[in-house]
Structure 1
């Protein structure tokens, strides 16, 4: 993966020295085997390293670490042991790294509290449960296996000695597979604290008995149980689909053949705890002391039990990871995909479109005015829409092969969508269990004006950062990423961050007034290259930036154009182009002046030479009102026509006219994107029947002179 990333950066003209800094200066270092497995959506299991640095004596610690990793591989998963080496967080360790952590000197125990300090000082150490969870979640690992988690210490109600593991489980969405809680802790209060943190706790197996590390029963019960790895995977996947930002604890009882030693070990634990108290040992030093002392008192039998439960946890965690990977792979793939031989491989790099899928119901009245409170004569049509889907559909018909990332439910609507959109690359569309595919109902008048709209689009919130990050390699190498405003703000921020790092242009298609603001609620908007708002959405973008906007929108043509140009001006400090859609008035193209028009290229503004800015108005292509059938996909077809023209290397005039022709075709079609749309039907050179009026040049100034 690193080699491919290096190749991509070299093609982009990034110097070898800069590439080296990008790769090696990162705080996180992901082992190639782990990054490749994540990129291919294969099962990965995170493992902690304090068991190596502080949990067992040498060489038992090294042997156990290697044995656990081998055990994970044997179950079909990739192990990702996490540790801090010389100030860098390693996710996946080499044999040399394991050797260093097993017998190195001056090694630290690195929890959430210690992570920033260890990195800033260039220290080395083993990551605890909380430290490992942070690293695993950062790179996209869902399953983490450990021996036992920390908890509320005995007398914790007085000392407030509560492990950071518990609060981390409350705020980091990772599934932790462990043998419950160490018996040296207050298990009852630990379970109460986990409930307060919103952590789902489930015992693995038929029983709900909550295990206590060396013994299968602690005297307390888990709220739930999962019978097998498949049930556990479904629970984890459901938590992810719900967007919960808390973790899961899967408590695995120690194998029965080792449980007989439990009472002997428990007696030794009580002795060791009294000794620790007498010697004044406190805080993070308590657990290593007790484990070492118990091993001495039991003549190594506790160490054997410890290794047995860790290997058992690794087995269970790996099986869950495999089941989760299979579950998500089945959901991502269409149920009846076209044979691979029939689908040509898309060019690399390709365009990536991230946005919504809707099943649209268009109710069109037979009159110019609809009467509320009574039945109006008209017709109802079902079709497939969604801003992201419309753009991907249009681009697919115009010779591009975009990867479309979205989410649908497991219902008849999703099946119909996948059947209708076989001409598109829908391999990245997730099918979410027990969710409804988004639906949209629009009521329009005879002339095509919107009268009322109703939307059921909650599933768009499932296009999460966690899901989209599975396609980071495609995003990093894309020639263009198109976002629609339906996706969550966090996903927009993530995509903009990836795009900025890899110099990938981003096209933002707002879908309504509120959603138009999403990139502008943070610095994300500065990573955008182009956006296509209408005048109301453009006002909303300015308002989100704290800029003044008119109280009342203008009515006359000249006032509308002047207002649109003024509102576009602040955005052009970072965007290359703003395309303001004006309905029947056409399009206002705003950007850098070149050769009497606007430079329309997919490059970040920082890559452009600073010079004049201008706005050019293109009137709409006329269409009789009676020919307007569906207005829902016109703006999306316009944007896709523009994008296709740019990707083909056409000039601004050609691109805008191509977009206007695509919009006109879709307006006269019952579908949001006209099935007749193609390179021959929207090419300005091929369509001779349209009389193109000359565009109007409005204004000009210099960057930085508002």
Structure 2
């Protein structure tokens, strides 16, 4: 986010163990703010160990994140910072605070098991970005019984998969979620929203442009033609933002590190235009 010109602020906890020290050293080297990260000698830095199968997919995982759930006091220390945010990436402790400040909240399910945590806070969620299995888990967590079933045939076309997932998608919209960015692996994403495209605007008066974001906005608005949706964060619409996300993800998987040392404006905008021009609109009646 920082390398794309945003100004992120993280609220979390860390210990003085090896994991915590390495993370803090990198955080500072990347010139990211650390004021919201609480460090204490009695805290064990939250860590996750994943076991991969022969294809490189996660087969199992063990997480030690108890420290996160014992740090609710941090939320209240940074109420003003949260209230001044333009966007809010989901951590369950913050969702009600964000909602009171009229800040859109993004829920990232992470896994099927964690997807179920949407149940008590769904009314605060604006965006969610599940894969197919996480989508089903989210919908089932909000229903009185397991009404939705995952897709068993992974070789279905995108249109067929969408038709099969429509009941779960619509159910989440009925529960209050505004936008679903459904990730479908190498096929990209299905961007789902209730209503017509002109309802995809998220009005945020607090947003501002600088650095890379300013250049990216100017390049896109001068290069991409066709019907432009109302801007997301008063800058880019949801479709454009998804295209940028895919282009940035492509740049990330092309390097050995988790995040490229720097993003090339020319490369990103070129890929964004390819993604954006390849998108197609699928309109469906709300009755499923």
Question: TM-score, normalized by length of structure 1?
Answer: 0.33
Match of 1:584 in 2: 186
Match of 2:75 in 1: 468
SS of residue in 2 equivalent to 1:507: strand
Do the aligned partners of residues 551 and 478 (structure 1) sit closer, same or farther apart at CA in structure 2, a change above 3 Å counting?
closer
Match of 2:258 in 1: 672
Equivalent positions of 1:105-120 (< 5 A) are none
- Following superposition, the deviation at residue 579 of structure 1 comes to 0.7
Match of 1:131 in 2: none
Query: In structure 2, how many angstroms separate the alpha carbons of the residues matched to 1:483 and 1:499?
Result: 10
Report the count of equivalent residues. Answer: 255
Query: In structure 2, how many angstroms separate the alpha carbons of the residues matched to 1:465 and 1:680?
Result: 42
Match of 1:544 in 2: 141
The CA deviation string for residues 150-181 of structure 1, in whole angstroms up to 9 with x for no partner, is: xxxxxxxxxxxxxxxxxxxxxxxxxxxxxxxx
**Which residue, 565, 573, 576 being the options, matches 2:166?**
565
Do the aligned partners of residues 551 and 534 (structure 1) sit closer, same or farther apart at CA in structure 2, a change above 3 Å counting?
closer
> In the alignment, is residue 432 of structure 1 matched against residue 40 of structure 2?
yes
Query: In structure 2, how many angstroms separate the alpha carbons of the residues matched to 1:589 and 1:581?
Result: 9
- Following superposition, the deviation at residue 694 of structure 1 comes to 2.9
The CA deviation string for residues 42-67 of structure 1, in whole angstroms up to 9 with x for no partner, is: xxxxxxxxxxxxxxxxxxxxxxxxxx
- Following superposition, the deviation at residue 527 of structure 1 comes to 1.4
SS of residue in 2 equivalent to 1:602: coil
The CA deviation string for residues 180-219 of structure 1, in whole angstroms up to 9 with x for no partner, is: xxxxxxxxxxxxxxxxxxxxxxxxxxxxxxxxxxxxxxxx
- Following superposition, the deviation at residue 679 of structure 1 comes to 4.8
Match of 1:629 in 2: none
Query: In structure 1, how many angstroms separate the alpha carbons of the residues matched to 2:56 and 2:72?
Result: 36
Query: In structure 1, how many angstroms separate the alpha carbons of the residues matched to 2:35 and 2:149?
Result: 44
Match of 2:104 in 1: 505
Preserved contact between residue 576 and residue 603 of structure 1 (Cα < 8 Å)? no
Match of 1:699 in 2: 283
Which ranges in structure 1 are unaligned for 5 or more consecutive residues? Answer: 1-394, 485-491, 605-644
Match of 1:458 in 2: 66
Do the aligned partners of residues 674 and 504 (structure 1) sit closer, same or farther apart at CA in structure 2, a change above 3 Å counting?
same
Equivalent positions of 1:316-327 (< 5 A) are none
**Which residue, 470, 477, 484 being the options, matches 2:84?**
477
Do the aligned partners of residues 564 and 425 (structure 1) sit closer, same or farther apart at CA in structure 2, a change above 3 Å counting?
farther
> In the alignment, is residue 515 of structure 1 matched against residue 114 of structure 2?
yes
- Following superposition, the deviation at residue 603 of structure 1 comes to 5.3
- Larger strand share, 1 or 2: 1
SS of residue in 1 equivalent to 2:34: strand
- Following superposition, the deviation at residue 467 of structure 1 comes to 1.9
Query: In structure 2, how many angstroms separate the alpha carbons of the residues matched to 1:690 and 1:666?
Result: 17
Match of 2:213 in 1: none
SS of residue in 2 equivalent to 1:499: helix
Match of 2:132 in 1: 535
RMSD of aligned C-alpha atoms?
2.8
Match of 2:249 in 1: 663
- Following superposition, the deviation at residue 567 of structure 1 comes to 1.5
Q: Which has the higher contact order (CA 8 A, sep 6+)?
A: 2
Do the aligned partners of residues 514 and 416 (structure 1) sit closer, same or farther apart at CA in structure 2, a change above 3 Å counting?
same
Preserved contact between residue 505 and residue 603 of structure 1 (Cα < 8 Å)? no
SS of residue in 1 equivalent to 2:67: helix
Query: In structure 1, how many angstroms separate the alpha carbons of the residues matched to 2:5 and 2:64?
Result: 32
Query: In structure 2, how many angstroms separate the alpha carbons of the residues matched to 1:691 and 1:400?
Result: 22
> In the alignment, is residue 412 of structure 1 matched against residue 12 of structure 2?
no
Query: In structure 1, how many angstroms separate the alpha carbons of the residues matched to 2:59 and 2:235?
Result: 39
Question: TM-score, normalized by length of structure 2?
Answer: 0.77
**Which residue, 619, 640, 649 being the options, matches 2:235?**
649
- Following superposition, the deviation at residue 600 of structure 1 comes to 3.7
The CA deviation string for residues 233-252 of structure 1, in whole angstroms up to 9 with x for no partner, is: xxxxxxxxxxxxxxxxxxxx
Query: In structure 2, how many angstroms separate the alpha carbons of the residues matched to 1:694 and 1:658?
Result: 13
- Following superposition, the deviation at residue 656 of structure 1 comes to 1.6
The CA deviation string for residues 656-675 of structure 1, in whole angstroms up to 9 with x for no partner, is: 21111111122223333333
The CA deviation string for residues 567-618 of structure 1, in whole angstroms up to 9 with x for no partner, is: 1112223222111111112101011444xx47443359xxxxxxxxxxxxxx
Do the aligned partners of residues 551 and 398 (structure 1) sit closer, same or farther apart at CA in structure 2, a change above 3 Å counting?
closer
SS of residue in 2 equivalent to 1:424: coil
Do the aligned partners of residues 461 and 701 (structure 1) sit closer, same or farther apart at CA in structure 2, a change above 3 Å counting?
same
The CA deviation string for residues 660-696 of structure 1, in whole angstroms up to 9 with x for no partner, is: 111112222333333333655423xx44895766323
